[in-house]
A and B are shown apart, each in its own frame.
Chain A
Amino acid sequence: MAHISAGVATSHVPLLGVAVDQGKTQDDYFGPIFKGYEWTKEWEKQEQPDVVILVYNDHASAFDMNLIPTFAIGCGDSFGICDEGWGPRPVPDVEGHPDLAWHIAQSLILDEFDMTIINDLDVDHGLTVPLSMMFGQPEKWPTKVIPIAVNVVTYPPPSGNRCWALGEAIRKAVESFPDDLNVQIWGTGGMSHQLQGPRAGLLNREWDNRFLDMMVGDSDAARHIPHIEYLRETGSEGIEMVMWLVMRGALGRKTRCLHRHYHIPCSNTAIGHIVLEPDN
């Protein structure tokens, strides 16, 4: 049977993709950021997940204002790389796992989550930057990926509680898939950042670290954080952190922290990264 062996969360700042693509990962600015991912890169080489369920948000790339799904799942064979305005990133296309993805979609719908199913999907930095942070610059990504897109752009986004519950249902779906697969779930986006208006540049180290604390152990307090708290404390785009809750919910009642990294600033944002193992 398939199983979820670990959860990974990371920010997905576009500038990190630029740093990888242009070979700047070791300079003074980026060095301390990328150093925090070295442990995870080595760990991923040993873990060799068959599939990563990658929870991310589309940044007005694949979805425009004609179609705004709250939760969507990529069921295609492969996913192309978006041109976000400066040409597509020079990274490999992303290979999907249609059998598992369709299985999860069916299971989630029966569990009363109204998923949007996508077959033809180009993915943006929200999905490709985390892959680069964990796997560097391979000719082909070493894992298959099932994208799960969450709307955190147009209000209201789903509640934290709903995201956590979606994670719980994903775990149930994965564990009922007959093939023996090592599956990881990644939550991407966040941490504190505000990209707009006169309040742009807001960072909240203290709040972010409390949130990281909440990912570990058996507390489910994070599922009850209201949207307004993310907005007030972590900036308008800090709402992306609800996507980490899908990851956390999928790990079950209790987690153990394997690795944790936090750094300020990266472009307009704080950067956070954590690796968790189910401990149930």
Chain B
Amino acid sequence: MTEQNIHEYLSDLDDIPGTRVYTASRARQGYHLNQFAMSLMKPENRERWKADERAYLADWKLSDAQRQAVLDRDYNRLLELGGNIYYLAKVFSTDGLSFVQAVSSMTGMSVEDYQAMMMAGGRPAEGNRSIREGN
């Protein structure tokens, strides 16, 4: 790859429809949120979390908006607030949800419709590449 202008590089990342790329600014905003999610890799933490979600969250330096979005399992909102799907996976795994169940919840489709779309070849790239270009 030839040398890139970082501002052009970052601006392109914001040009993809329905996508929040995990840039440094999101990583910075989501640091505590993602570390909270990561803590659920330990079984003893999962038990405490399941027993009282609000009490568990009180130990973490989350914003009120992040805290509410976690309790609501509003994954699109969590992505906007600096969450990353690889980290947030610990939350829906603890809920006993599969990737398909959790991921489909972000698309506005039912799990059944989402699965039917995947079986039919998935969401096409056509029309989903660029906000600017509308292609």
- Residue of B19, B90, B119, B122 touching A84 (CB-CB under 8 A): B90
Q: Are A197 and B19 in contact (CB under 8 A)?
A: yes
Give the interface residue-count category, chain B: 35 or more
Q: Are A203 and B123 in contact (CB under 8 A)?
A: yes
Residues of A within 8 A of B35 (CB): 64-66
Q: Are A82 and B41 in contact (CB under 8 A)?
A: yes
Q: Contacts A200-B106, A201-B118 given; indicate if A153 touches B19 (C-beta within 8 A).
A: no
Q: Are B106 and A198 in contact (CB under 8 A)?
A: yes
How many A-B residue pairs have C-beta atoms within 8 angstroms? Tell me.
Answer: 160
Q: Contacts A14-B99, A87-B43, A160-B1 given; indicate if A199 touches B16 (C-beta within 8 A).
A: yes
Q: Which residue of the partner chain B has the closest CB to A83?
A: B41
Q: Which of B22-53 contact A (CB under 8 A)?
A: 22-24, 27, 31, 34-35, 37-38, 40-43, 46
Q: Are A64 and B38 in contact (CB under 8 A)?
A: yes
The tally of residues in A whose CB lies under 8 Å from a CB in B reads: 52
Q: Are A65 and B106 in contact (CB under 8 A)?
A: no
Q: How far is the CA of A25 from the CA of B19 in the complex (A)?
A: 32
Which residues of B come within 8 Å of A, CB atoms? 1, 9, 12-13, 16-24, 27, 31, 34-35, 37-38, 40-43, 46, 75-76, 79, 84-87, 89-90, 93-94, 96, 98-100, 103-104, 106-108, 114, 117-119, 121-125, 128-130
If A85-B46, A265-B119 are given as contacts, then 4 extra A-B residue pairs at C-beta distance below 8 Å, sorted by A number, are: A153-B84, A155-B13, A195-B99, A267-B98
